[in-house]
Amino acid sequence: MSLIYYKLISTRLVGTCFEDLPNEVMYEIFDYLDTVHAFEAFYQLNHRFRCLFTDSSLPLKIDFLLISKSKFEYYSKYILPSYTHRIISLRFPHQMSVNLFHRFFSFKSFHRLQSIMFHKIATKKLLLFLHDLTSLPQLFSLTITTIDQSDQDKTICQFICHLPVLKYCKISFDDTRKDLPFPVTDQQTLANSSIEYLIIDGFYNIDGLIPIFSHMSKLRHLSCNSLWGSDNLTHSTEGISSSLEYLSLKLDDVSFEKFQSIISRFNFPLKVLHLTALFDKKYLDAYRWEKLIINHMPNLRVFDYECHCNTIDSHDLIDKFHSAFWQERNWFFGHRHRQLYNKTYAYVYSIKPYR
């Protein structure tokens, strides 16, 4: 709201009657409100406020979390049909809201739609909608949380990759382990994808990153919060000219050799690496990290690092993170220990002075 207050000061209207505020300030206020709430608060106030809605091109955002079933049906019948061309954002908090929407509308009518969030949606229903989304010319942000187990993950990801201008995508799967949701064989679809920011939330096989790294050349930001995988190493082959600058991974059960073989395969222009590794104490080998960074991540500026493992010699290992290599980059580390079931567990982490 600071921008609004600044405009009030700049136009010397602090203390002025609310209804006398200029249109640009009112539009700023509307932008902070859900469309339905803004309608309820201002539409019936007077003729001038009614015209602010009906006679403007003000973008509209709708969050169905804030609308009851009866109110949704009323607005769907009498209000929203006149404004579908102005709606840029839709958020569905649960399956019921999606079902209600589907009774009245088709996504194909929302030509200006830029952002959609599906939370707690069944895979079967999601597939119905994704086909329609491919016809939207301005959809650049998509967030999906599925609630059921399905063998249609690859089909979902194929539809996502076909969205023509999608830039941001967050996919949250159920708690089961996923192998390779992004299609390995459909290389051209991956190559044509416009996605720049991809977040995968759920148990995901690290081998599934190979087709993403190999073909999604526009990808700049990748985050995966729980990766697992076998110890089969990825043999070095020619990679693409990657755009990946930001990589955030939590490795639940992935050996350092596996992680190293993947990083070594591609020419990432990485600037930021956030990494959490569990169980394998080879992630505490400072010398191996130095070689990997020098040879395959020379542009790295932020190294945000955590390692949790069972080891008895972490004090000696952590001392090696204090060499000139780390100090020259202003990368510093700390560590803690605890005893559990007669074993010593070490927690080694980067210290972030820039925070």
Backbone angles phi, psi at 121, to 5 degrees: -110, 140
**Please, what's the b/e burial string for 201-225 (b: 16 or more CB within 10 A of its CB; e: otherwise)?**
bbbbbbbbbbbbbbbbeebbbbbbb
- Using the CB atoms, write b or e for 68-102: b if 16+ within 10 Å: eeeebeebbeeebeebbebbbbbbbbeeebbebbe
Give the count of beta carbons closer than 10 Å to the beta carbon of residue 305.
Answer: 19
Domain ranges of the chain: 61-310
For residue 309, what are the β-bridge partners? 346
The DSSP code for 85 is G
- Which residues on neighbouring strands pair with residue 222, listed in sequence order? 198, 247
pLDDT digit string (tens) for 218-255? 999 999 988 887 666 655 445 556 789 999 999 988 99
C-alpha torsion angle, residues 72, 168, 203, 206 (rounded to 10): 160
Instruction: Identify whether the C-beta of residue 292 lies closer than 8 Å to the C-beta of residue 264.
Output: yes
C-alpha–C-alpha distance, residues 207 and 233, integer Å: 10
Span 61-310: which CATH code?
3.80.10
- Token pair 């909608």: residue: 129
Greatest Cα pair distance, the chain, in angstroms, is 75
CA dihedral 267, 273, 278, 283 (to 10 degrees): 60
Q: How high is the pLDDT of residue 315?
A: 66
pLDDT of the chain along its 355 residues, tens only?
444 444 444 444 445 566 777 777 776 776 676 666 667 667 667 767 777 766 667 788 888 887 788 888 887 887 788 888 888 999 998 888 888 888 888 898 899 999 999 998 988 888 888 888 988 999 999 999 988 877 777 788 888 988 999 999 999 876 666 665 665 556 787 888 999 999 998 888 888 888 888 888 899 999 998 888 766 665 544 555 678 999 999 998 899 999 999 998 887 899 999 999 988 888 989 999 999 999 999 999 999 999 888 765 656 777 888 899 999 999 998 888 777 677 777 788 898 765 4
Give the pLDDT confidence score for residue 334 in this predicted structure: 85
**What pLDDT sits at residue 314?**
59
Q: Could you tell me the pTM of the whole model?
A: 0.84
